Amino acid sequence: MFTLRRAFLILLILLAFGLRIYAITDIPPGLTHDEANHGREGMEVLDGVYRYYFPLNYGSEPIYSYTVAGSMGLLGENLFALRYVNIVFGLLTISISY
Q: How many CA atoms lie within 13 A of 10 on its CB side?
A: 6
Q: What is the pLDDT of residues 14-43, one digit of tens each?
A: 999 999 999 998 888 888 888 999 999 999
Map out the domains of the chain as residue ranges.
Answer: 4-97
Q: What's the CA gap between 6 and 74, in Å, rounded?
A: 31
Q: What is the pLDDT of residues 33-69, one digit of tens each?
A: 889 999 999 999 999 999 898 888 788 889 999 999 9
Whether residue 71 has pLDDT greater than 70:
yes
Q: Taking all residues of the chain, what is their mean pLDDT, rounded to a whole number?
A: 91
DSSP secondary structure string, 8-30? HHHHHHHHHHHHHHTTTTTSS-S
Strand, coil or helix: 54: strand
pLDDT of residue 46: 96
